[in-house]
């Protein structure tokens, strides 16, 4: 049986944590940063756990994660 291919675009966006949860980075940190507060920008840096409604589909595209 041929090996399953990993979706590379998903692999770049999501990482698996030590406990097996899918982590992602937040949006809105690329441009138009002057009007955003320092606190808001600082909170956008942190990775967060992916919403449980999306996890099933993401796991299909990351067969070896």
CATH code of the domain containing 14:
4.10.410.60
The gap from C-alpha 19 to its chain's centroid, in whole angstroms, comes to 15
- Is residue 2 situated within a structural domain? no
Q: Among 15, 9, 1, which residue's Cα sits nearest to residue 61?
A: 9
Say whether pLDDT at 46 is over 90.
yes
Q: Give the pLDDT of residue 1.
A: 82
- Is residue 3 situated within a structural domain? no
If phi over 0 gives left and psi between -120 and 50 gives alpha, with beta otherwise, what is residue 32? left
Average pLDDT, the chain: 95
Q: Give the pLDDT of residue 65.
A: 86
Mean pLDDT (whole number) for 28-49: 97
| Predicted model pTM | 0.83
How many domains is the chain built from? 1
Say whether pLDDT at 17 is over 90.
yes
Domain that holds residue 30: 8-61
């Amino acid at each position: 049986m041929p090996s399953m291919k990993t979706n590379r675009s998903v692999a770049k966006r999501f990482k698996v944590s030590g406990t097996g949860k899918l982590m992602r980075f937040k949006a809105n940190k690329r441009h138009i940063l002057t009007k955003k507060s320092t606190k808001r920008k600082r909170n956008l840096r942190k990775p967060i756990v992916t919403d449980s409604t999306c996890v099933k589909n993401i796991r299909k595209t990351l067969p070896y994660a």
